[in-house]
Amino acid sequence: MFSGIITDIGRIAEIEARGDTRFVVETAYDTACIEIGASIAHGGVCLTVIDKQPGRYGVEVSAETLSKTTLGEWRVGTRVNLERSLRLGDEIGGHLVYGHVDGLATITECRPEGDSVRFGFALPKALGRYVAPKGSVALDGVSLTVNEVMDKGDGDTHFGVNIIPHTRKCTTFDLLRPGHRVNFEADMLARYVARLLATRG
């Protein structure tokens, strides 16, 4: 379990395609303190550490995960938001994030708004029911608050978030532009409320 507060930006150093795909991730984390089998969120996707060296570690990713997330777009040099899993007693600075991606959102706009940047996203309508103004979402592993939700009549749900300068500096959002896709995870509370309403309807 995670909180959506990014604590490092890793770099994909090696990619090896075999039965599953093995990625080697360069990190500023002290890998001596990372246990084999530990969970780390990579762009919002929970992956298991299978080996490690000073300054880097390896993870394996199934074909299913590659096809359903942005991990299939990773190349050597790709920058990745990283967050280590929470421990009991840790502060939850964002919201509870599970590292289980629901789908992909596409960036539709990036425009300055004060010192921040307003990002617009398009999301498949089936996932749009989980998004509400002032609610929480995780995008590429980053816990964010939704500003507004719109239906533009194109079959997608559109929503916007503001990215403050600190978040841009400490995540990969500074690299993103319209057309890029990001991993979307709905807030667990929104997921259960939608399920409850569906069963009562």
Judge whether 179 lies within some domain: yes
Q: In angstroms, rounded to a whole number, what is the distance separating the alpha carbons of residues 131 and 128?
A: 5
Note whether residue 90 is domain-resident: no
Shared domain for 125 and 159, answered yes or no, is yes
| Domain final position from 54, 84, 114 | 84
Note the pTM of the prediction, 2 decimals.
0.93
Q: Are 73 and 137 within one domain?
A: no
In a domain? residue 95: no
CATH number at residue 56: 2.40.30.20
pLDDT tens column, 24-54: 999 999 999 999 999 999 999 999 999 999 9
Per residue of the chain (201 residues), give pLDDT as tens: 899 999 999 999 999 998 899 999 999 999 999 999 999 999 999 999 999 999 999 999 999 999 999 999 999 999 999 999 987 777 777 788 999 999 999 999 999 999 999 999 999 999 999 999 999 999 999 999 999 999 998 999 999 999 999 999 999 999 999 999 999 999 887 776 776 777 765
pLDDT in tens, 104-119: 999 999 999 999 999 9
> Which CB contacts under 8 angstroms, 24+ apart, belong to 142-147?
142/4, 142/6, 142/44, 142/81, 142/94, 142/167, 142/171, 142/173, 143/3, 143/4, 143/5, 143/93, 143/94, 143/95, 143/97, 144/4, 147/118
* Same domain flag for 74 and 110: no
Q: What pLDDT shows up at residue 164?
A: 96
